[in-house]
């Protein structure tokens, strides 16, 4: 981006598209770095039994982590409790 003002002039959708592209490019750079680190790691490893079996174990990235689906029941109950309090105050 040429300036911070151009960022402020963006719509939210354009910002999200650019953010998605930035994160994708950043992840690609980390994948390349991980590949180089993995090859260096396994090239002259002395004790094979102690080394990581996969590069995902050796250097996990954001895409390798399992993402939780949805909201936990505890958060849902807390939200509903606060929503009912708000309804009684408003209504």
* Residue extents of the structural domains in the chain: 1-65
d(CA 19, CA 7): 11
SS (H, E, C) 45-79: CCCCCCCCCCHHHHCCCHHHCCCCCCCCHHHHHHH
pLDDT at site 56: 86
d(CA 65, CA 80): 29
Supply the pTM of this predicted model.
Answer: 0.58
Straight-line distance from the first to the last Cα atom of the chain, in angstroms, rounded to the nearest whole number:
47
pLDDT at site 68: 61
- Share the mean pLDDT of the chain: 87
């Amino acid at each position: 981006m040429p300036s911070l003002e151009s960022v402020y002039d963006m719509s939210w959708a354009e910002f999200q598209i650019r953010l998605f592209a930035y994160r994708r490019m950043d992840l690609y750079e980390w994948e390349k770095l991980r590949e180089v680190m993995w090859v260096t790691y396994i090239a002259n490893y002395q004790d094979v039994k102690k080394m990581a079996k996969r590069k995902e174990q050796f250097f996990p990235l954001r895409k390798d982590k399992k993402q939780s689906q949805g909201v936990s029941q505890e958060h849902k109950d807390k939200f509903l409790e606060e929503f009912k309090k708000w309804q009684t105050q408003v209504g």
